[in-house]
Amino acid sequence: MSAQGEATPPLSGTRVLDLSSRYGAYCSKILADLGADVVKVELPTGDRLRQSPPWRDGSEGSEASLMFAYYHHNKRGISLDWQRDEAQPLLGELASWSDVVLASPKGERVSVAGFSDGNPTLTWVPADVVICFLTPFGLTGPYRDWRATPLTSFAMSGYMHPVGPTEGPPVAMPGQQFCDEAGLWGAFLIQSILRASPRLRDQVIDLSVHEVGWFNKLGTEQYGLSGNIKTRATNFGPPPGGIWKCRDGLLDIGAHAAHHWDIFVDLLGRPDVLSDPIYRQRSMRIQLYDLLTELIADLLADRSATEFVAAGQAAGLPCALTQTPSEFLGDPQPKARGFFIPSTRKGTGTFAIPGAPFHSAPSLHTFDRSAPSLGEANHDVYVDALGHSEEELDRWRADGLI
């Protein structure tokens, strides 16, 4: 606690060297938001997330990606061609200056100098520095050299199989949530090691997005308990469960218990078309799925989803609004909690990004720095921190090393 009564972020004083790809971007973001000094190392051609949409105001370029701006907020940035053997002395200096090194030597079109399959480690990292590898399939096994995208990670983890309509192909989950889940585990493990005794500092963590996806989504639970393989069946039960179109948006109802039908009908004013007692039986609502779906869709079409959810929450009916991203941005709940924070940087201007998914008093997180431009901190790190000269910097730049 500082003299002003403000909390010192828990990872203040911790240095993280981030050579990872998109698989480790969220891991280092969590560490940075909790106060660590994260130095994002990019190849001289730039990180691949710089080429990932969406773009700010439809523009393109290495500084216009909102993906890069979000995932690398709070980090410093340097450039270095870590594929070249000539980079290993500099990598060693950077690692000796750090507490943690993140890398993704598999699953990308680039390699990392000093990495060997025989003994998965980085030869230039001192023994007392934590290494965390984040890759699509891990450092061992027959798929270790395979590349992947969030789409293939979602599919191969087994979790795409049950998602989507009962008739038709499975549906992909958008975004790179599976990479982020691996990053979340990485951040948790790293913080645990840093807080443990020094004897654990020589840990090498091997995180597989493929395995984390299965583990976090509990794919084994139903199969392990019952032997059943989950299929693309509706997971919201018979009507009134499901997503319904109202005049002002979409309404999501999760009606599973017997009394939910009675609450639902009460909220609709007990219309005659739903008055038949047989509808109270879940088994009958399953058999009459198509009929009830048509009746309920007509009854909800002219209603306000917002008003129905407010009444349903008060009455005890599990229900919620199904919002678009733009609707969430304008929603009063995250606004009231200050969830979105401003970020201003060259190439993207000022825009809102998600802050922390929690509140604490005093605050445990910090948002002091927008995502770096390519090589922005080269002088700060190579010259001021490591003691190299401007002439060396110019020579490395001319050689394409940085």
**For 2-21, what is each residue's pLDDT tens digit?**
334 467 889 999 999 999 98
Q: Is the dihedral of CA 257, 259, 261, 264 positive or negative?
A: negative
CA distance 367 to 75: 10
Helix%, strand%, coil% for the chain, nearest 5 = 40, 15, 45
Predicted TM-score (pTM) of this structure: 0.86
What residues contact 359, with CB distance under 8 A and at least 6 apart? 337
Going from the C-alpha of 339 to that of each of 66, 199, 353, 400, the distances in angstroms are 17, 38, 9, 41
CA distance 61 to 115: 31
CA distance 266 to 287: 22
Going from the C-alpha of 242 to that of each of 199, 219, 238, the distances in angstroms are 52, 22, 8
Instruction: Write out the two tokens for 14.
Output: 């911790």
Which pLDDT does position 236 carry in this prediction? 58
**For 133-179, what is each residue's pLDDT tens digit?**
999 999 999 999 998 887 888 888 777 877 777 777 888 877 788 88
Q: Cβ-count burial of 338 within 10 angstroms (0-12 exposed, 13-18 middle, 19+ buried)?
A: exposed
Phi, psi of 173 (to 5 degrees): -85, 125
Going from the C-alpha of 348 to that of each of 9, 49, 79, 328, 359, the distances in angstroms are 28, 14, 20, 21, 27
Domains along the sequence of the chain with CATH: 15-219+335-399 (3.40.50.10540), 242-329 (3.30.1540.10)
**Is-contact 113 87, C-beta < 8 A?**
yes
Which pLDDT does position 3 carry in this prediction? 39
